[in-house]
Copies of this chain bind each other. A is one copy, B any other.
């Protein structure tokens, strides 16, 4: 139904995007913000048709998709506000000291957009991390043109949203090529987009193998470019006895819900739960398994993901020392994506890196430690993560200073007594973490600080006031926060 872009079409798209960028980079912050707000409105105006198409293409339920649409609009509108507020410009001004020896010049620093950005639609967020999702919103706010490659699992949804963006550009009399939408089920389209010399940055949410392919292509270019790939995370959860005992059944229910939320298809899904060998943990295992058994099988986003879930689940189940806690009769298959809970001792876990690999879907592995020392060894063995969670009383956590340091080194967000799923879209959010969770831990892909991914600092020395960008002018006409030295 939707044909892959040819290599000639990719080249043409990037060329047009580059030309559109030349104009779009000069737009005011308020123009960009207005565009983003109109995109949100145009997405809303697509109404039920968009939800119906997305339901058909992704198997996600109506309620979830409506929530995700609302989240997508909130991203556009709140990043628009942040774009205008201008904190992301990190403006600083050092005024001149002509009497100093040597005289100090007037230097003013702001941000300038990187250039055309390529965004890869993600399968698990057909709205919020696809066509007009977080990466696109941030890139537009920064003043970059955007070329989106639709995710092949929901091309019609993507096409529909792309038309909404096109209408918004038209309403604001902006060049249509500020946003270009392409299809590409084949790897070669992605490869050509990343390797095109006009491309200046890449946004991606998906698998480790997909993200690393993009990253390696980008680093091997004549001009290497930044790749913001969010790849995978098992989001470890550390359980401590006092807090767990106090509320074990409720915590089990909370985790049954978190593990199976959206058929486990969230990057913040809790995939590894690390506890101490106590009666409370035994009850937690039992209760969590029972509650997961009660959750019906779900339909995953597409056949490829369902098949991968079956394969990864089977592989995990047959590793040395693994106990299957959920009902054996409900073993996950590609057709019946049932929840899966496994358990293993810390010593078996530490010996086998396969058990650290993400089983993308409604699955989790409980790692049973003999003591806090073993728990620290497990923590130290983990790869970089998006999140880590600690279930503990404040007193218990206070005793675990060393563990907390280890966790802090390994993740982008630490949650105290909660679940990792549910990523709040706000200024203080950090969604990103050390490799291999992402390819660049220094930036976030959720929240308005994500705008900074697509811009770089530039300083103006001794410039005439009238030729400075507005945010640097003496009168501060945009009224942005500025550090003045």
Query: What residues make up the interface of A, taking CB atoms closer than 8 Å to B?
Result: 22, 25-26, 87, 90, 92-94, 102, 104-105, 107-109, 112, 114-115, 215-216, 219, 223-224, 226, 384, 394, 397-398, 404-405, 408-409, 411-418, 422, 424, 426-430, 432, 434-436, 439-444, 449, 452, 455-464, 466-467, 483, 485
Contact = CB atoms under 8 A, between A and B. Distances in A.
A351 to B, nearest CB: 19
B416 A460 contact: yes
30 contacts: A92-B427, A92-B449, A94-B427, A94-B428, A105-B424, A107-B413, A107-B426, A107-B428, A107-B429, A108-B428, A109-B430, A215-B224, A223-B434, A224-B435, A226-B440, A394-B464, A394-B467, A408-B458, A412-B456, A413-B459, A413-B460, A414-B460, A416-B460, A416-B462, A418-B461, A426-B485, A428-B459, A441-B456, A442-B455, A444-B457
A485 B427 contact: yes
Nearest to A390: B463
A108 B430 CA distance: 9
Given A417-B462, A462-B418, A457 B430 contact: yes
B442 A226 contact: yes
A466 B398 contact: yes
Given A394-B464, A416-B460, 12 more contacts: A25-B405, A25-B409, A94-B426, A94-B429, A108-B428, A109-B427, A413-B458, A414-B458, A414-B459, A415-B461, A416-B464, A426-B485
B394 A466 contact: yes
A463 B416 CA distance: 5
A275 to B, nearest CB: 20
A215 B222 CA distance: 13
Nearest to A219: B219
A85 B60 CA distance: 48
**How many copies of this chain are found per oligomer?**
2
Nearest to A67: B102
A409 B143 CA distance: 12
Given A92-B427, A483-B427, A405 B109 contact: no
A345 to B, nearest CB: 27
Contacts of A455: 442
A151 B114 CA distance: 33
Contacts of A462: 415-418
B414 A463 contact: yes
A45 B441 CA distance: 39
A212 to B, nearest CB: 9
Contacts of A90: 449
B428 A93 contact: yes
Nearest to A439: B224
Contacts of A428: 92-94, 107-109, 459, 485
A87 B418 CA distance: 30
A425 to B, nearest CB: 10
A26 B405 contact: yes
Contacts of A411: 458
Contacts of A467: 394, 397-398, 404
